[in-house]
Structure formats: structure tokens, C-alpha cells
A and B are shown apart, each in its own frame.
Chain A
């Protein structure tokens, strides 16, 4: 049941793959945050309700801190580091400022080394962002200017030594200084050359410029010499997107700055990794273009538990390794020796590995359009898993983008979808999918929320469709529907849309929140922040009146239709059914639709048993009904049930 969510994962042997062959599919982000007077000057929030001030530097550090926490959850094997530049102090691996005067990288302070973050580093960075303790000594601007060439080469060395052979390496520069070297040609050239080194190394630079009310950040003055049009590793990736410059609002509002910066950084937090690259999209016989596919929506799971070795200096994760052994002699078995067999008729039916592979082989990977249908022909329920996103690539077929764009526009305008025969990977087995177009959506800061492109929705096969249970149809009469309509109208979500970004996964967040507290030896948080819990007070305030009036109508209609119908099913009814029934009526002075005659009696009864400490006198079915109706587990022996009922009352 809840495991259906895990199952999904096993279905797919789907990790993103490296198409270039020899690189490690990992991402490394190095934040380079400039420290100068203006970066450290707090600007008060324009909104008088939100108190507090925020300097650009602390906003940047908070963003880095958020990103670090987020990446521990979403990219547990990817690296991150924080480099401050323009600081009075310098720090680079074993060099300390106190050592001789000839530092390699003066005024570069490697605050968090590029690595998979440790709990300790998370804490340090939080301290710096909150400007606590030692942080004050670090966040002091240098009196002399820092050489950008030096900063860039410092980053180069960090990437070269700490993240060699990574598929994706990115330098995030956060600064408000659009012209660090003025007209000094030598320094400018040196910086341009070092930027080119980074480009040739495969590091892309992403700029997060900060404007001030009196000064709009101007890329043309310096940064256009530093930043390249295309990403060195992902030629299809949009380079530096100018749309983002909107994000650097020059309102001078510190909190707003933090928000826009967060939104902008969040949108680039994950390195783009293709699930498949340059796949043929076949529009008709012999007419192909190439596309790349991505998993933009995919269930994020907490990492599984592992084994820790506690006898070392620090607790250490043990790495597991699985080898196959033969059952008879326990000798280690090589992969080529293994034969595959299926159970059949009490015996084994044997296949060679090649044969087994060929059973799943339905040809080379392809997305082949079989024909088109109106989008409305795709039933709501026809779904088995998350979608695939596809976007054109020019690598195999020049002209793919314009053809894709034409198809995109046509499908979007006429609300059509294509039926596709889709083989995501060799030997992964074909899938039938509905190919639909999605328009681009941007948020209030002009940052892209959903990209333009097409989505493949895998369809269920006949084998995957379950039958409906048998029921007797009862249709509610109009007056009752009318009353419910008022309720629904009262409780629209903001903008009447579902926006995933408003709902972090509460159990995932709680899991890592607890781990963080344990890792840092901090007090455990008491209450989780759970945005998926309905706003009960608002529901009562906005819809309470309408709900009661609906409940009254329900009672009326039930009584009208009821009598006979109820009798026919009476036999099978237990106490539970009666308790559980909805609605209540005006018949009770308290107007409580949640419970009614029978149930309030049972509830009161159980309560009095609880108070008298005689719960064990109740029968197991009654205890179970009670627990079930309060969403509690009904597993275990009677003593467990009693305990759980007690727990229920103790919490109240």
C-alpha cells in the first residue's frame, strides 16, 4: 500500500547515465561570494511587517546554507563548497594567513571545502549566515582589491583537485560588483584567460548579480568577458539566462532580495542530467528528429538506512558489497557462469542470458508517433508513473528544434496528444505513451517554473488495469449537491491551482531534520513543520456554516430515502458502520456533524471507561472500531489496543 511508492522505484533501473562514457555522474557546486562594504551593508525590509534586515552577503550565505541542506536530501553524493573572496583573511587548504607573506590566493577564504557536506560544515555555514561568533572575523572586507584572475584560478584548483572527472562542475558567483578591475587592462585580460581555463576544464560559471537601488548591475562592464554562451558540458543547456536579471531586483529590500536570490538559485540548484540523449523522435516513417529526455518529476525518497561502524574515531558508514555464491559449495560465482531459469510446473525452464535479454528487446530506443488523438481522450486514471520530459537536440539531426517547436505549437493550440511507441532504453521493454505539449510557466520573479517542451505519459497496458468493485449506485439528489457546491466553492486553494513548491514532503523533511539534529548533537525538534496539514481553522471559518447546512440536508434526504434501503443492509452492519456514518443533524443541540446518536454514545462510553481505567473490559471489536475511526493502527493484541486508546486520550 504505502509500499506502492517504493515499488515504483524497483520497476525502473533508471539512474541518469553519462553519455560521454568516462565521467562520473556527479555535480559539484562552488559558491564564490564577494565580501565588500556594500555586500555587508544591511538593507531593511521595505515591508514593515517583516522585521529584520538582510545584507546581500548574508542573503547569499543563507541561500548557500539552504542549498546545502536541500542537496543533502536531493543529491546525497554531490559536492558543494563555499569560497569567500575579497576578505581581509585568506585560507586555502594548509595555507594559513599567518604563514609567510606569499600566499597563493590572497583574500580568498575557502570557508567550506568542496566535498559532500558533513554535518559539521552545515553547522559552520549556518553560523556564518547568522553572523555568529567567529563569523565576524571572517566577514571583514580586505583593504586592497582582490584579483579576479586569482579568484578564478583558485576555483580552478579546487575543482581540479577535489572534483576530478565530474560530469558537472559549476561556479556560482554572487556579487554586486559589476566592474572589479575598472579599466585596468592587464587585470581584465588575466581574468578573461583564467575564465577560459575554467571553460576548457569543463566548469561553467553562473552569475547571481545583485543590484542596488542606486546602481543597476551591468554585465557588459566585466562579466560578459568571463561567462560563455554555452555550457561546456551540456551544449543544449540554455546558457546564462538574461531573464534572471529581473531577479536582481533593485528595490533595496533585503528580504525581497533573499527571496529572489533563493528562487533564482533554487531554479539552478540541480545540474541538468539527461535520462536519455539524442533519442530519435519519429514523426512518420523515415522522418526523424532527435530529442533528449529528462525526469523533471520523480519521487524523492529518503536514503535507505545503512550500517555504521562505531569503533573508529568517528562513526563511519560501512560500504556493502554483494557477491554471488553457489548454494552448494559457497564458492564465489562469476557473472558469466550464471544461468537464468523460471519456475514452471514444479521444474525450471532455462534460458541463456542472451535469450533472456532478447525477450525484452523490441528494437533500438525510439519514440515513434503512431497517430494523434484529442487530449481529452486521455482518461484521468490512465497513469502508472511519473512522466518523461523531452526537449529537442540538434546533435543528430540539424533542424530538430524547429520541427519540434512546430509540433509543440500545434499540439498546444489544438489540445491534441500523440500516441507513441516508446522504448526508453535498449532492453527496457516498450511502453505506450501519450505525448503532450506543455507551455512554459514563469514565477513572479520571471524565473522559469515549468519549461516549455513535451511530456510522455506512460499509459497502462490492459494488464495493468484493475476492475471496479461491485457497488450499488446511489445518486445524491440535487438539493444535496447544491449544498455541497457551496462548500467546494468556499475552499479553493490559492489561485485555484496546485503548486508543488508550496508543499515540501513532510516525512522526508522530518527524517533529515532529525538526522541533522542527531549529527550535530542538538536537541531534537518537537514539532514537525508540515505544510500538508489542512488549515482547519480556516476551513471551519470559511465553510463551517455551509457544511452544517449540507449535513442537515443529508439527514433529510437520508430519512426520505432511507428507511427501506437501510433495512436491506442492516444485517451486515456492525457498530462501526453506524458510528462511522457521516453527518449529523440539527436534532442534536450541539450541531455536530461528525458524530451522531450511536457514535457519540460509544465515544462517551469509551471515554468513561478510560477515565475509570477499565478499558480492558471493552471487547476487541469495539476497541478496534474506535481506533480505526481515529486513524490509529488496529494491529496487535488486546493490551496493545488498550494502550493505544489510552495514548489517544492522553494526547488530548
Chain B
């Protein structure tokens, strides 16, 4: 469990905080609040009851604190006591924070109050205590009793953070010219206060700019397996070895928070007003026109049915209780009774068994199938340390990887893993990834990239699909000129892929959007921060440097974009010949296929179109095909012929687009829709119409074919209307 936290934010809202400085578009207060909101919402987002915070307003118009009788503590208001912050608190704070009309109020007194709040809240319990002060340092500050404050802060182990607008910071490179003398004095006093109690005093500029860098959630390190790395069978052979080891995640895909589904409550006429989210309601109504209290959650309901030829609609609903558990073997349903539930589970025992070793340079890196883990020796076991270390070093020296069979728990499926040695100056371990099984590889085949094999079996090395020497040379130079050389903070070149400063764009964008919407429900979602897009484009300097090589490459490569309209079109009939080059078209011509046979409709329709010399032939073929399709619908028992109809229509649509006769199709599909909906083709065919809609077999519009007179809107309308 993470430690309990108590943080007090002291926000200076003096009237001078409402001014803009140094050419910034936001007031000092708005600027400071960027930091405060970010910190507070980050705490709220954790949803932890033990992460508590309070807020003090400094230089407020009113005074509201427990020492309000003392004039030293005037113009300081407790905006929120220390507690778990919820959405309503955020909204309230948003309303409360605005520049006051006064510049009275002492920051040092506010710190004293904050200490008091923490003491009251935390008592002597274990807490991470923290005070954050945001100020422009322009108010009057009383420097008496600073030693007592320092002592108290150190005693109670409170972390003090002071952030000032335009405070000088030579390290960060900020210096305010013509600084107000009082501010200069305050600055140096606050700085020495912070230093004295081991806190931080910095310039706000730096703090706000660092907000850009997404924060990575740290996860507690926990072993996901404790067992033995085994060589040989210790139950059978005396020569077997068992090294006790522990396994930890090295990578684990972090996931964005998941959203839940809601709908409007039924019968919303009578608003049920729930007091606690009242402010929310007012706030969000602009963006969405609803508030949470009018919403109800959505849950999934699962129903089951089986096919039944005799039932209306060809299926009957079955209650869950009347169903047994089972699996599919092909199209055979295999029932497994509850007592046999584990019958298909392979019996295994936990352990990591070595199969053997492979040469690391013979391994294809792309065979990694999973996230990675590390394996270390059982902790506080020196013998295991020694044993594993000798294993790691021998793999390293021999340039080998180990292959092992890993079972994480009794009766869990075995996986094969690859173990690689990792030796760093202060850390040694085995790195582990999962390997593919035979079933995990799909043998799709692809032609070679360095030669072309012709139909007759001749190997050709000069071909339009093969790069010539000029292209190879241009590519060589371009790739070399685009070499990424990253440097770390100290300017040293980094020799690995940039993993440490690449942040998941989706996670952090969603995170930012939630927090932004929580405090500013009226505003649109902010754009992704620059940091998230850091690797979305090649670095500018690299692009510049390699420009000449790229130009050369583009010129030699001579790549031509295919205009979108031609894409679907038949480009040549050349590919449509068999390997021998036999002129099948001529043979077809001899056969004189003019009447399309229903059971060979698709090939024959295509062949007639291919040979057609006039429009009438195409029109006639289309007419024949439509008759066949309608007859298939009419005689379809239930949905028996629907797939065939789909295929016929899809093919007809594609062909008529390529032969530039979209109107023939459009006329037909319009009539067909009418007939379907009027139940003229063998009864209720709405399901078929739904299928055709899903497969987008509606009107051919102008985007798809120049010859079409149908606009995209009309086509869309045609499909959406019932």
C-alpha cells in the first residue's frame, strides 16, 4: 500500500495575482493554478481515500481560519480542510479561486496555518506531509520566528515547496528585470526558509513547463513466480540441478482507464435532483445536456438460442439454466459435465525446465511473442545467487540463449520461453520472453525480394520490382543520413531505442482529457501535448540534413501514386490468362455463352461483360443476372440463399463500376429494395435488406464512379432509410 498523504496547497489570490506579466497570456493566478490543478487532479485521479489534501487562500478578501482573531492571520481563508478531494470539491474550489481586491495577508502566517492543519489532521500517524505555496512574493511578509517554523517543519517531517512567479533561478535561467525591491527581499527570505527546512523554492516557470512531461505510474515490484530453474529431472536423475528463482515483470502493457456506459434514465420529466452532484449537473449541462443524476448505468444481457428448422424465424430461445457447458470440435458440440470440467486441462507442475541452448546470433528477434520478464535468484539465498550468476555468465560468454518450458502454477498451460543473460555493473539477471509454438506461426508465403521467378521457372534479377544499383545506392545514402543519434541529459549519446521518454499517447491523452473535463466541463478536450507527439515525425534537423539524399532517392525510385478511381479497375487482362498463356477467351467465344445459367452465374456474367462489344449486351446480361438473383431470394428458405445473393450483388456492383455502367446497378438495387420491403420476394426479407445495408451494397455514388448521378448523401440516405 502506498503511504497516506496530507498536502496543503497555499494559493496566493492577492489582487496583484490577477495581473499579467512577462508577456504571458494568462494572469499569474491562472498560471499558478495550472500547476495546482494538475497536482490536485492527479491526486483525485488515484481515487485513494488516503491521499488527502487541503487548500488555503492567501490574501483573500475575507478571513476565515481558526486563528482569525489574531491580526497576523487576517486575509487568509481555509478554502478546504484536509480530506479526500472529490469532484464536488474540485468544482467548489474552481468557484472560490479568483483574484481578490486586496494585497493584504502574510504568506509566512499561511505556512504556520498550514502546519497547524497538518498537525490537526495527521496527529502522530504515519503520513507523507507536504505544503505547497504558490505566490508572486509581492505581499508583506513577517520574518519573525522563522527558526521556530523551520524547527517545526523539520520535526514533523513536512516537505515544503515554494513556487514563485518570476522568481529568479540562475540554474533554470530565469531572471526578472527591474524586480520590485520588496519582492526581491521576500524571494530571498522564502528561499532561505525553504533551504533551512530541506524544502524547495523554485520558479513557477520551471514547474509549469515540467507538467508537459507525463507522469508514469509506478507499480509495486512483486514476483509473479517463485520456483525452480531446473536442469534435468531431479526425481529421476542424480545429476539434476534446481536453482530457486523469482520472476518479475520487466514490461507490462499499461492500459488506459476504461469508461463505463450510461443512458438517460427513463421518464426523465420529473428530475430527481441529487444534491451531491448538483454543481456537476449545472456544469456539464452545457456540453452534454444531461447530468449524472439523470443517467443510469448500462449492463449487458446475454440471451441464447439454437437453430431450429421448424420454428418461426428458424431459431428458438433457450434459457441459460437449460444449457450445459461444452466446447466446439469442428461443428460438433461436445458436452462436458461439471464433474469432468477439468478433463481437457493438461496436467502440469510448476517449474522452469531447461530444454537446451541456442546460439544467440541464430535467433530471429521478431519471434518474441510477449512482454518480457526478468529472472533472479531467490532473495537472500547466496548459494542460489552464485549458481544463477555462473549460469548467466556462461550464457554470456558462449553467446547463447536458453530455451525453457515454464509452468507458472500447477495445471497452468506450459509456455516455452527464451532466456538471455543480462549483465550490468550493478545488476545481473536472466531476461525472459515467450516463444511461439508450432501453431502460433501461420505460414503465409511471399515471393522473394531479391529475384523474380518467371512462370517458366527462370530466375530474373533485373525487373521493375527489383531495385537497380542506383536505387540501392540512393537508399544506402538516405538511410545513413537518417541515423538517429539521441543524447541523454548530459549530452552523451544514447545507444538504445528511445523508450524512457516515449509515453503512451492514448493513456496520457485520456488522462489529460478526464482531468481537464473535471475542472473545466465547458471546454473542448485539449489537444495532445507536444511530448506525446515527440516521435510522430522525424526530427527536423535530421529531415533537413537528409533532404538532398531524399530528393535523390525519390527521383530514382520513380514511385507513382495510383489515382484512386483506377484502383479497383481491371488494369489488364494479361493476368487473367493461365500459366501457359492459352487464349481461353477464344475458347469461350466458341462456346457462345449468351444465356447465363443460374448455377454458374458469376463466371458467366463476368465473361459476357469481358467480351461485350455494345451496351445492349451488358444491359441484357445485367437483366439476366437480376432475374437470377431475384429468383434466388424468392426461393430462399429463410436465409439459406442470402450469402449467394450477397455475393452476386457485390460482384455485379464491382463489375458494373469497372465497366462504367453504375446506372444499371443503381436501377436494379432501387427496385430490389422496394420489392424486399414490400415483401414481394417470398415474404419477410428485412433480414436480407439489413445484410445488404451492412455490406454497403447500396447505390453507387459519384465518388465510386464518375458516371453515377447519385450523390454521396443520396447513397447514404438510401441505405439508412428503412
Q: Which residues of A contact B464 (CB under 8 A)?
A: 399, 402
Q: Which of A283, A462, A466, A652 has the most CB of B within 10 A?
A: A466
Asked if residues A189 and B292 are in contact (CB atoms below 8 Å), the reply is no
Query: Does B35 reach chain A (CB closer than 8 Å)?
Result: no
Q: Which of B16-24, B113-121, B148-156, B598-606 contacts A (4 or more CB under 8 A)?
A: B598-606
Contact A379 B232 (CB under 8 A): no
Do B440 and A297 touch (CB < 8 A)?
A: yes
With A324-B299, A398-B559 known as contacts, the answer to whether A592 contacts B238 (CB < 8 A) is yes
> Interface SS of chain B: helix, strand, loop or mixed?
mixed
B1 within 8 A of A: no
Chain A residues with Cβ below 8 Å from B236 are 536, 540
Query: A347 contacts B442, CB within 8 Å?
Result: no
Given A519-B329, A573-B380, the answer on whether A380 and B513 have CB atoms closer than 8 Å is no
User: Does A193 contact B587, Cβ atoms closer than 8 Å?
Assistant: yes
A165 beta carbon closer than 8 Å to chain B? yes
Q: Chain B residues near A515 (CB, 8 Å)?
A: 327, 329, 334, 344
Is A339 a contact partner of B600 (Cβ separation < 8 A)?
Answer: no
List B233-290 residues whose CB lies under 8 Å from chain A: 233-244, 246, 248-255, 257, 259-266, 277, 280, 284, 287-288, 290
Q: Once the chains bind, are B241 and A452 in contact (CB under 8 Å)?
A: no
Q: Which residues of B contact A566 (CB under 8 A)?
A: 382
User: In the complex, what residue of chain A is closest to B264 when comparing beta carbons?
Assistant: A337
Asked if B109 is an interface residue, CB under 8 A from chain A, the answer is no
A338-B263, A358-B525, A464-B251 known; A503 vs B438 contact (CB < 8 Å): yes
* Chain B residues near A330 (CB-CB < 8 A): 301
**Cβ of A452 and Cβ of B587 under 8 Å apart?**
no
Q: Is B183 an interface residue (CB 8 A)?
A: no
In the bound complex, do residue A554 and residue B390 qualify as a contact, i.e. CB atoms below 8 Å apart?
yes
Interface centre among B89, B315, B350 (most CB of A within 10 A): B350
Q: Which of B90, B455, B475, B508 contacts A407 (CB 8 A)?
A: B475
Residues of A within 8 A of B345 (CB): 507, 510-511
Q: Considering the chains assembled together, what is the distance between the CA atoms of A557 and B632 in angstroms? A: 84
Least Cβ distance of A217 to chain B in Å? 14
Evaluate contact between B562 and A396: CB separation under 8 angstroms: yes
Enumerate chain A residues within 8 angstroms of B334, measured Cβ to Cβ.
119, 308, 315, 515, 518-519
- Find out whether the CB atom of B263 lies under 8 angstroms from the CB atom of A339: yes
User: When chains A and B are docked, how far (Å) is the Cα of A585 from the Cα of B509?
Assistant: 58
Across the interface, do B350 and A632 meet the contact criterion of CB distance under 8 Å?
A: yes
Cα distance A569–B453 when bound, in Å? 67
Instruction: Determine whether the beta carbon of A395 is less than 8 Å from that of B567.
Output: yes
B664 lies within 8 A of chain A by Cβ: no
CB B212 to nearest CB in A, in angstroms, measures 14
Q: Is A446 an interface residue (CB 8 A)?
A: no
Cα-based distance from A518 to B476 in the complex (angstroms): 60
Partner of A493, one of B403, B450, B607: B403
Residue of B290, B439, B509 with highest tally of chain A CB at under 10 A: B439
Q: Is B538's CB under 8 angstroms from A371's CB?
A: yes
Q: Identify which of B235, B239, B542 contacts A548 (C-beta below 8 A).
A: B239
Residues of A within 8 A of B460 (CB): none
Within 8 A of A (CB), among B571-606: 575-580, 582, 584, 587-588, 590-591, 599-600, 602-604, 606
CB neighbors of B among A291-345 (8 A): 294-300, 302-303, 305-312, 314-331, 333, 337-345
Is the beta-carbon distance between A385 and B253 smaller than 8 angstroms?
Answer: yes
Chain A residue numbers with a CB within 8 Å of B353 are: 533-534
Q: Is B414 an interface residue (CB 8 A)?
A: yes
Give Cα distance in the complex from A534 to B528, angstroms.
Answer: 51
The residues in B between 468 and 523 inclusive whose CB is less than 8 angstroms from any CB of A are 468, 471-472, 474-476, 478-480, 482-484, 495-510, 513-515, 517-518
- Within 258-306 of A, Cβ neighbours of B (below 8 Å) are at 266-270, 272, 283-289, 294-300, 302-303, 305-306
Please provide the chain A residues from 8 to 27 with a CB less than 8 Å away from any CB of chain B in the complex. Answer: 8, 11, 20-24
Given contacts A346-B87, A487-B394, A534-B355, contact A305 B327 (CB under 8 A): yes
- Indicate if A181 sits at the interface (CB-CB under 8 A): no
Please tell me if B650 contacts chain A, counting CB pairs below 8 Å.
yes
Q: Are B444 and A432 in contact (CB under 8 A)?
A: no
Q: How far is the CB of B550 from chain A (nearest CB, A)?
A: 4
Is A377 interfacial (CB 8 A cutoff)?
Answer: yes
B298: chain A residues at CB < 8 Å are 324-327, 333, 338
Contact A628 B438 (CB under 8 A): no
CB of B577 within 8 A of CB of A228, answer yes
B189 within 8 A of A: no
Q: Which of these binds chain B: A39-47, A93-101, A235-243?
A: A235-243
Complex CA distance for A161 and B643, rounded to whole angstroms? 10
Residues of B within 8 Å of A501, CB to CB, are 438, 441
Task: For B233, list chain A residues within 8 Å (CB).
Answer: 534, 536, 540
| Pick from B300, B367, B580: contact of A225, CB under 8 Å | B580
Pick from B45, B241, B367, B448: contact of A551, CB under 8 Å: B241
**A117 x B331 contact (CB < 8 A):** yes
The smallest C-beta distance from B245 to any residue of chain A, in angstroms, reads 10
Chain B nearest Cβ from A168, distance in angstroms: 12
Q: Interface code A182-203, partner B: CB below 8 Å = 1, 0 otherwise?
A: 0000000100110111111110
B591: nearest chain-A partner, CB-CB:
A193
B560 contact set on A, CB distance < 8 A: 397-399
Question: Is B713 on the interface with A (CB-CB < 8 A)?
Answer: no
The answer to whether A325 and B562 have CB atoms under 8 Å apart is: no
Give Cα A438 to B450, complex, Å: 12
Chain B nearest CB from A55 CB (Å) reads: 26
The residue from B383, B575, B579 contacting A558, defined by CB atoms under 8 A apart: B383
* Contact of B372 with A by CB under 8 A: yes
Is the CB of B37 closer than 8 A to any CB of chain A?
no
User: With an 8 A cutoff between CB atoms, is B707 at the interface?
Assistant: no
Please report the C-alpha to C-alpha distance between residue A330 and residue B435 in the assembled complex, in whole angstroms.
Answer: 46
Selecting from A68-76, A126-134, A138-146, A249-257, the interface stretch reads A68-76
Indicate if the CB atoms of A631 and B410 lie closer than 8 Å.
Answer: yes
Residues of A within 8 A of B515 (CB): 344
CA distance A346 to B44 in the complex (A): 9
| Residues A202-234 near B (CB distance < 8 A) | 202, 219-220, 223-230
Using A344-B518, A462-B216 as known contacts, say yes or no to A308 and B323 having CB atoms under 8 A apart: yes
Establish whether residues A342 and B225, one from each chain, have CB atoms under 8 Å apart when the complex forms. no
Within 8 A of A (CB), among B643-661: 643-644, 646-647, 649-650, 654
CB distance B643 to A24 under 8 Å?
Answer: yes
A352 and B359 alpha carbons, distance in the complex (Å): 53
Say whether A467 contacts B218, CB under 8 Å. yes
A418 shortest CB reach to chain B, Å: 8
Residues in B366-417 with C-beta less than 8 Å from chain A: 366-372, 374, 376-387, 389-391, 393-395, 397-398, 400, 402-403, 405, 407-416
- A402 CA to B402 CA, complexed, in Å: 38
CB proximity of A287 to chain B, nearest CB, Å: 5
Which B residues touch A590, using CB under 8 A? 238
A460 interface contact, C-beta 8 A: yes
Please tell me if the beta carbons of A348 and B262 are within 8 angstroms of each other in the complex. Answer: yes
A385 and B403 within 8 A (CB): no
A56 at the interface (CB under 8 A from B): no
| A-binding segment of B128-136, B168-176, B302-310 | B302-310
Which residues of B lie under 8 Å from residue A359 when comparing CB positions? 506, 509-510, 513, 525
Q: How far is the CA of A382 from the CA of B467 in the complex (A)?
A: 32
Q: Report the bound CA distance from A8 to B500 in whole Å.
A: 22
Q: Name, among A120, A226, A532, the residue most crowded by chain B CB atoms within 10 Å (CB to CB).
A: A532
Q: How far is the CA of A471 from the CA of B379 in the complex (A)?
A: 7
State whether the Cβ of A92 lies closer than 8 Å to any Cβ in chain B: no
Show 29 A/B contacts (Cβ-Cβ < 8 Å), sorted by A: A2-B413, A8-B370, A24-B643, A72-B329, A117-B330, A164-B643, A219-B579, A223-B579, A285-B538, A305-B325, A308-B334, A318-B304, A323-B303, A341-B259, A341-B260, A342-B260, A347-B87, A350-B284, A370-B537, A397-B559, A469-B223, A471-B379, A475-B389, A481-B397, A488-B395, A506-B413, A547-B240, A554-B390, A577-B381
Known: A347-B292, A372-B480. 10 other contacts (CB 8 A): A74-B442, A324-B299, A380-B372, A399-B559, A474-B389, A480-B386, A498-B418, A505-B440, A508-B413, A536-B240
